[in-house]
Amino acid sequence: MSAAVGYATKWGALPTLTGAPTHYCAGCEHGTLTRLLASAIEARQARERAVLVSSVGCSVLAHEYLNVDAVQAPHGRAPAVMAGIKRARPDLLVFGVQGDGDAVSIGLLELVNAANRGEPISIFLVNNAIYGMTGGQMAPTTPAGMVTTTTPNGRDVATTGRPFDATRLLLGLDGPAYLRRVFLPVAPTGSADVFNARGALDGEAAIRHAFEVQERGGFSFVEFVSTCWVNWKVSILESKRYAARVLAPLFPPGLYRDRFGVEAR
């Protein structure tokens, strides 16, 4: 799309996006992440060699929106499929989008072992602290006290354990080369009706760095703290405030490991 006379396009259409309308709920971070992935793929000029492995959950239809080759893995098995593709074709840029129910619950074994082997793949975990697509059941990442359809009185940590921190689990392994957690939603500021968009800008940089680490032969993992206002049963902006108040202290954003020093440059 060309700009009007006297104007230059600063940001415009991305060829890596197919343009299909998204199935995501209004204000969902999955949509934001799709644009960030497209932008990072184009920044690395990797559209022709990028392979998306989508998981099961709300992330499953990412191949509808990203104009790259894609494989849909069985529930939780995306890291194993990614590792296979990467071993067969090391020239490809292999990345996956997984939700917390997929990666941290049913697929934890694949995630941990792929990380432990240090497979050169990039995994992007969307942690919205709940099972979004299946109707709002408790996930391993659900904060204590949160009401879900399977914990109607709030999550009881005495019987269901404490919220699962995937990034710090992987930090205990020697395999991963790049571990980062980003707070992706718009975040409240001192002013009641102004939010900041730092998460989206940080997220784009984190994805570019994860791809760079993969091309240098390391395992990269970025966790995106996200929201699910429909299943949290709050308004869109209230879900962003809740995420900043409850999820950000529980899952502190930051750079957890950067073995190749890609953030320094």
Partner 1 sequence: MVATVSDALPRAHVSVDAERCKGCDLCVVVCAPRNLRLRPEFNRAGYHPVEFRYQGDRGECTACGLCYWVCPDFAITSVDRRVP
- Summarize as ranges the residues that interact with partner 1 (CB under 8 A): 1, 3-4, 6-13, 17, 19, 21-22, 24-32, 34-36, 186, 193-197, 200-201, 204, 236-237
Query: Smaller CB distance to partner 1: residue 127 or 167?
Result: 127
What is the Cα–Cα distance from 180 to 223, expressed in whole angstroms? 6
- Residue 263, beta-bridge partner list: none
Query: Smaller CB distance to partner 1: residue 237 or 248?
Result: 237
CB of 70 to partner 1, least distance (A): 18
Query: Smaller CB distance to partner 1: residue 157 or 197?
Result: 197
DSSP 47: G
Q: What is the DSSP string of 97-118?
A: EEEHIIIIIITHHHHHHHHHHT
CB of 195 to partner 1, least distance (A): 4
Residue in the block written with tokens 């080759």? 69
Query: Smaller CB distance to partner 1: residue 24 or 232?
Result: 24
Residue in the block written with tokens 């899952």? 251
CB of 30 to partner 1, least distance (A): 7
Give one word for 161, left, alpha or beta, with left for phi > 0 and alpha for psi -120 to 50.
left
What is the Cα–Cα distance from 189 to 196, expressed in whole angstroms? 7
* Nearest residue to 53 via CA among 31, 71, 75, 27: 71
CB of 234 to partner 1, least distance (A): 13
CB of 145 to partner 1, least distance (A): 26
Query: Smaller CB distance to partner 1: residue 23 or 168?
Result: 23
